[in-house]
Copies of this chain bind each other. A is one copy, B any other.
Amino acid sequence: MARTQGSHSDITGPRVREAALHLFAQHGYAAVSMRKIAAEVGVQAGALYNYTPDKQTLLFELMRAHMEELLAAWDARAPAGGTAQAALEAFTRFHIRFNTSRAGAVFVSYMELRNLTPENFNIIEGLRRDYETRLEAILRRGVAEGRFAVAEPRITAMALIAMLTGVNTWFRERGRLSLAEVEAVYWDMVRRAVANQG
Contacts and interface: CB of A to CB of B under 8 A. Distances in A.
Interface in A168-198: 169-170, 177, 182, 185-186, 188-195, 197-198
Contact of A185 (B26, B31, B151, B195): B151
Interface string A8-51: 00000000000000000011111100000000000000000000
Interface residues of A, number: 38
A103 interface: no
A159 B151 contact: no
A167 B162 CA distance: 9
A194 B193 CA distance: 8
A158 B163 CA distance: 8
Interface in A132-176: 151-152, 155-156, 158-163, 165-167, 169-170
Which of A152, A160, A166, A193 has the most C-beta atoms of chain B within 10 angstroms of its own C-beta? A193
A171 to B, nearest CB: 9
B186 A159 contact: yes
A177 B159 CA distance: 15
A3 interface: no
Nearest to A171: B155
A162 B159 CA distance: 8
Contact of A198 (B114, B185, B191): B191
A117 interface: no
26 contacts: A27-B114, A28-B28, A28-B29, A28-B114, A28-B115, A30-B31, A151-B185, A152-B177, A152-B185, A155-B177, A156-B185, A158-B166, A161-B166, A162-B162, A162-B165, A162-B166, A189-B194, A190-B193, A191-B198, A192-B192, A192-B194, A192-B195, A192-B198, A193-B193, A195-B198, A198-B198
Given A162-B166, A166-B163, A26 B114 contact: yes
